[in-house]
Amino acid sequence: MSFNYLQPGKPAVFKDRFTTKVTECIKPYESGDRGAVGILGLPASKSSISMSMAAEAPQAIRKALGSYSTFSATKNHDFKDDVLIDFGDVSVHPTDVEATLDRLHVSVGEMLETEACERYIMLGGDHGVSFPSIHAFQKKFGRVGILQWDAHHDVRNLDDGGRTNGTPFRSLIEGGVIRGEDLVQIGIRDYSNAAAYDDYCEEKGIHVYTMDDLDQQGILQVVEKELQRLADQVDVIYLSVDMDAVDQAFAPGCPAIGPGGFTSRELLSSVRAAAMHEKVKAMDIVEIDPSKDVRAITSRLAAHVMLRFMYK
């Protein structure tokens, strides 16, 4: 039997014949597929030192992508023919954080072994997911340089609670996965860190830019300068975007919100500038708790961050 208006199994969504939404370009991975960008969900947040349901963020961000079209007026180009391959979400361990980290590491590595895409986006989860993800990229590609948008250093000690969302970059450095001089921290805020961790960053040679530094030097100038420096010494560059680098007015759905961060435009323009570099291979987006968000403001911003990375 045919129906006039019923669409069994499908939502009643308005369709404009001239508009392609980003979600229409996403297809689940199948063996042999090739696409412009691969997407992988890392839905882990049990290691968060504050109450967080960031494990729900990958699905919330994917849903937010459905609000946007593939056309860029700035570039005067429609990206509707770009295939985005979705590798799904990693099945995490229900109680064991270390087992979850291992599953994330294995899964990112398996995705990379498909060689299905030129670039990849990992959707966290809390910032702890960056440790296994970056480790997998280091195993596949060699020396990794990192641009980290963040209010916090995330180099906390491992004695007070083990591996958490506050330890990923200390874990990477202490594990010999990355070198301190290959890590650039952008947007570190006052009254959000401890003096001991500021000292640790200096000791390890991490390039740290506070919000005051960026006010004086300009975020785009800093990004361009550090990309040029990293490109001379690393094999690939990985962008790690902690959404709490953004001011609480623009990202209310972060577990660790605070004032004095980036505007949404500053985040988007700086990610776009970084994504243009040929050595930038990957990006993760972390620290969104959809249960704390307001009208999906933070997830929608994260979706726009993805667009700036995908449609460079």
For residue 93, give every residue at least 6 positions away whose Cβ sits within 8 Å of its Cβ, in sequence order, or none. Answer: 99, 100, 103
Average pLDDT, the chain: 97
For residue 242, give every residue at least 6 positions away whose Cβ sits within 8 Å of its Cβ, in sequence order, or none. Answer: 127, 148, 149, 150, 151, 152, 154, 286, 287
Q: Is pLDDT at 113 greater than 90 in this prediction?
A: yes
- Mean pLDDT for the stretch of residues 161-182: 97
State what percent of residues in the chain have pLDDT above 70: 100
pLDDT (0 to 100) of residue 181: 98
For residue 123, give both structure tokens: 């959707």
CB atoms within 10 A of CB 145: 25
In the block, tokens 């005067």 appear at 76
In the block, tokens 């990206």 appear at 79
Q: Residue 114 — pLDDT band, cuts 50, 70, 90? A: very high
- Mean pLDDT for the stretch of residues 63-78: 97
Q: What is the pLDDT of residues 32-56, one digit of tens each?
A: 999 999 999 999 999 999 999 999 9
pLDDT (0 to 100) of residue 148: 99
pLDDT (0 to 100) of residue 5: 87
Is residue 124 within 8 A of residue 286, CB to CB? The reply is yes
For residue 212, give both structure tokens: 């005051």
pLDDT (0 to 100) of residue 38: 98
Q: Is pLDDT at 12 greater than 90 in this prediction?
A: no
- Mean pLDDT for the stretch of residues 291-302: 98
Q: Is pLDDT at 13 greater than 90 in this prediction?
A: no
pLDDT (0 to 100) of residue 208: 98
Distance CA 300, CA 80 (A): 19
Q: Residue 297 — pLDDT band, cuts 50, 70, 90? A: very high
Radius of gyration (C-alpha) of the chain in whole angstroms: 19
Distances from the Cα of 87 to the Cαs of 79, 143, 195, 278, 292, in angstroms? 20, 25, 40, 23, 26
CATH number of 22-310: 3.40.800.10
- Mean pLDDT for the stretch of residues 262-285: 98
pTM score: 0.97
3-state secondary structure of 302: helix
Q: Is pLDDT at 10 greater than 90 in this prediction?
A: no
Domain residue spans in the chain? 22-310
Q: Tell me phi and psi for residue 244, to 5 degrees.
A: -75, 0
- Mean pLDDT for the stretch of residues 254-282: 98
**What one-letter code names the amino acid at 84?**
L
- Mean pLDDT for the stretch of residues 204-211: 98
Q: Is pLDDT at 1 greater than 90 in this prediction?
A: no
Q: Is pLDDT at 154 greater than 90 in this prediction?
A: yes
State what percent of residues in the chain have pLDDT above 90: 95
pLDDT (0 to 100) of residue 234: 98
For residue 63, give both structure tokens: 């849903």
The sign of the CA dihedral 181, 185, 186, 189 is negative
Q: What is the pLDDT of residues 209-250, one digit of tens each?
A: 999 999 999 999 999 999 999 999 999 999 999 999 999 999
Q: Residue 169 — pLDDT band, cuts 50, 70, 90? A: very high
